[in-house]
Amino acid sequence: MKDILFNKKILLLIVPAILILVWLLWPADQQASYQTKKVERGNITLSVMATGSLEPVNQVDVGTEVSGTVRKVFVDYNDRVKAGQLLAVLDTQKLEAQVVQSRSIMESSRATVDQSYAAVEESRQNLARLEKLFEVSAGRAPSQQDLEASRATVRKSEASYKAAIAQVREAEARLKLDQVNLQKASIRSPINGIVLSRVVEPGQTVAASLQTPTLFTIAETLTQLRLIVAVDEADIGMVKKGQEASFTVDAYPDRTFPASIEQVRYASEVTDNVVTYQTVLAVGN
């Protein structure tokens, strides 16, 4: 019983001591600290992410309008070319033969014209002679039937002459077409630029019966490029012509390149149920 009373006395002494210690250690007047800053007006930046591809501003596909076998190719990838420079030639034996044949037909047609003209002159002279004789003989000779036959001969010879002239024009047109086709066998660059692709080899046969086959792709310049990206339908409202932009490429992942929006196309494209709008950006290289 004495032990219990002793423990109670000790507990009564310890608890007040703890309370006094806590009171001494607790700050008497702890105040909250505040930081202030002047209100400033700024712009909220919204970013639109899209992917696309870089391509030259102006590039042309060079093909051939005539069919044949490629005889020789004069340029390769990355070659600089000038307008009118020879890129490749087709075998021209068949085309040259067509030119020779067309020229022969034209010359033959011209000879026919000369013959037809001579026939016209002869028939007219014969008719004039008969009409003079009819007048001198007071209608006794030649007979009316002979006069009508002579007049018919004149009309027939004049018609033959006109037909011969038409044949000459047709032969001249055919010759001109064959000569143009012969010239087209020499494939030339339409612009100054750089060869981006070449899909033709010597000995290859090209057929231009349905559509013109592409043999070369030439870019006019690589100093000015354009970036075509597909902008999501949800973001297209934030994209406007004239806005500045930046982009990166896989070849230089640590570099950012500037660009500016020059066109937002109205026509939408749907791929895998995702609606996008093509946007064109101007890029200086």
Pair 72, 191 in one domain: yes
Domain count, the chain: 3
Are both 73 and 212 inside the same structural domain?
Answer: yes
Query: What is the per-residue pLDDT for 32?
Result: 58
Q: Where are the alpha helices (DSSP H) in the chain?
A: 2-25, 93-136, 144-184
Strand order in the sheet with 186-188: 186-188, 86-90, 68-73, 205-206
Name the nearest CA neighbour of 206 among 69, 65, 61, 62: 69
Interatomic CA distance for residues 51 and 231, integer angstroms? 8
The answer to whether position 216 is within a domain reads: yes
Q: Please give the pLDDT value at position 211.
A: 77
Asked whether residue 7 is assigned to any structural domain, the reply reads no
In a shared domain, residues 204 and 78: yes
Per the domain annotation, does 63 fall within a domain?
Answer: yes
76, 198 Cβ separation under 8 angstroms: yes
Task: Give the model confidence (pLDDT) of 6-30 as tens digits.
Answer: 455 555 566 566 666 655 665 555 5
CA–CA separation, 223 and 251 (whole Å):
18
* Residue 228 in domain: yes
Q: Are 218 and 62 in contact (CB under 8 A)?
A: yes
Instruction: Pick the closest to residue 285 from 219, 229, 210 (CA basis).
Output: 219
**Residue 44 placed within a domain:** no
* Residue 236 near residue 105, CB atoms below 8 Å: no
Q: Are both 125 and 237 inside the same structural domain?
A: no
pLDDT at 30: 54
Structure-derived torsion over alpha carbons of residues 196, 199, 202, 203, reported in degrees to the nearest 10: -170
> Does 249 lie in the same domain as 203?
no
Q: Could you say which residues of the chain have pLDDT below 70?
A: 1-34, 210, 285
Residue 21 lies in a domain: no
Cα–Cα nearest to 96, from 205, 184, 187, 182:
182
Tell me the residue range of the domain where 70 lies.
58-91+185-221
- pLDDT for 5 equals 45
Rounded to an integer, what distance in angstroms lies between the CA atom of residue 71 and that of residue 66? Answer: 14
At residue 247, φ and ψ (nearest 5 deg) are: -150, 165
Cα-Cα-Cα-Cα torsion 260, 262, 268, 270, nearest 10 degrees, comes to -40
Q: Is residue 41 part of a domain?
A: no
DSSP assignment, residue 33?
Answer: -
pLDDT in tens, 158-198: 999 999 999 999 999 999 999 999 999 999 999 999 999 99
Residues 136 and 164 in one domain: yes
